[in-house]
Amino acid sequence: MAQNGIKESICIKTQHGIKHISKKDIIHFTEGLLGFTEYTDFVFFDIKDCEPFKSMLSVVEGGPDFIVVDPISIIEDYSPLDYFSSSEELDIGDPVELVVLSIVTLAEEPENSTVNLRGPLFVNLSSKLARQIVLPDDKHSSKSPLMVKK
């Protein structure tokens, strides 16, 4: 326990057991997520044996647990930062600490899984602030294929 009796960590019950989370690791989405505006605070976890994917878990018990990926590492021509003339437009702090993530939707058949490239997540690891922004053109879809079909 921290000074003044304030807890520095919380526990969240998930379908995979109890997760102990340090409050300093919580990322705050200033406007929530599209379709999930009531959920604003999340933590990220590595998914065992599933790099480069991560779990983005709501700190609200029973809240959503998204799978996210750094789209820039898997999609060759994806550069969502090109849509902003300055980092102030994102309003989440220093762009040096910025990470771009996209939400993945898994399908029963892996080749049908998709990634949301139209609404990337901009996460500032230093300020612990994040925003989801819908990109202004149709170049990328909210259901872009995650895997290239052969």
- Tokens representing 23 are 């409050």
d(CA 81, CA 15): 35
Q: How many CB atoms lie within 10 A of CB 106?
A: 12
d(CA 64, CA 44): 12
d(CA 66, CA 62): 12
Q: What angle do CA 90, 73, 139 make, to 5 degrees?
A: 60
d(CA 57, CA 55): 6
Task: Write down all domains in the chain, each with its CATH number in brackets.
Answer: 9-145 (2.30.290.10)
Record the pTM: 0.85
d(CA 129, CA 92): 5
Per-residue pLDDT of the chain (150 residues; tens, 9 = 90+): 445 545 688 888 777 778 888 999 999 999 999 999 999 999 999 888 888 999 999 999 889 999 999 998 888 889 888 877 555 556 776 667 789 999 999 999 988 999 999 999 999 888 899 999 999 888 889 999 987 544
CB distance 54 to 44 below 8 Å:
yes
